[in-house]
């Protein structure tokens, strides 16, 4: 995967649904709302943003239902701080590594998402064509929706064929804010949370 946003991306050593993984997580405030960061010994395995802590915790336990999951602020806080430094513009990329699991197709989609320049977007159809599967736009959308690491695997950069923002796992308002943030960074401006219309 393109590693311009993160220091390293490792393929998961655990099985489906987190089987065999030990995961610790923390929840912190971020420019986009409450942010859950979950880690293994090798890196961030899940990152979400939402206004509800309970929603994010239930989503983590659903997605990694076969893992051992504990709230462990001490273990996960360094990774969360690395994400916050990146979001705050203190670092050009997130200094924490990722450990992710996906099918070969999902991984190919996520690699292509990482190849989209900051501040730019691509349609699901364009992404499908770029990975050699031009008729798989709908499947690309499903792969986007199953991305476990928001922001750092930038599924918010995928848009509809008509240029409109489409569904986003963590809410369209969050998607709008992430795109505005990246466009501001790409343009060299300081990030501020815009008051975007619905």
The residues carrying an active-site annotation are: 155
Beta strand extents in 18-97 (DSSP E only): 22-30, 33-39, 44-50, 68-71
DSSP state of 163: S
CA distance 109 to 96: 21
Cα 7 from chain centroid (whole Å): 15
State phi, psi for 157 to the nearest 5 degrees: -80, -5
- Which residue bears the tokens 């699991």? 101
Q: Taking Cα atoms as reference points, which of 179, 81, 83 lies closest to residue 122?
A: 179
Is there a contact between 117 and 153 (Cβ–Cβ < 8 Å)?
Answer: no
């Amino acid at each position: 995967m393109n590693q311009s946003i993160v220091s390293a991306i490792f393929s998961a050593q655990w099985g489906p649904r987190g089987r065999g993984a030990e995961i610790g997580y923390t929840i912190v405030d971020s420019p986009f709302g409450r942010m859950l960061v979950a880690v293994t010994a090798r890196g961030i395995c899940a990152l979400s943003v939402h206004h509800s802590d309970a929603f994010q915790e239930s989503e983590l336990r659903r997605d990694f239902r076969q893992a051992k999951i504990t709230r462990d602020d001490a273990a996960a806080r360094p990774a969360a701080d690395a994400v916050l430094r990146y979001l705050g513009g203190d670092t050009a990329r997130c200094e924490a590594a990722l450990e992710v699991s996906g099918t070969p197709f999902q991984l190919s989609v996520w690699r292509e998402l990482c190849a989209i320049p900051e501040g730019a977007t691509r349609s699901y159809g364009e992404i499908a064509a770029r990975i050699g599967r031009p008729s798989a736009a709908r499947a690309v959308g499903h792969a986007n929706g199953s991305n476990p690491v928001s922001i750092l695997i930038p599924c918010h950069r995928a848009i509809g064929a008509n240029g409109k923002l489409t569904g986003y796992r963590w809410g369209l308002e969050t998607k709008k804010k992430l795109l505005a943030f990246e466009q501001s960074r790409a343009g060299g401006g300081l990030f501020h949370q815009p008051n975007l219309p619905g």
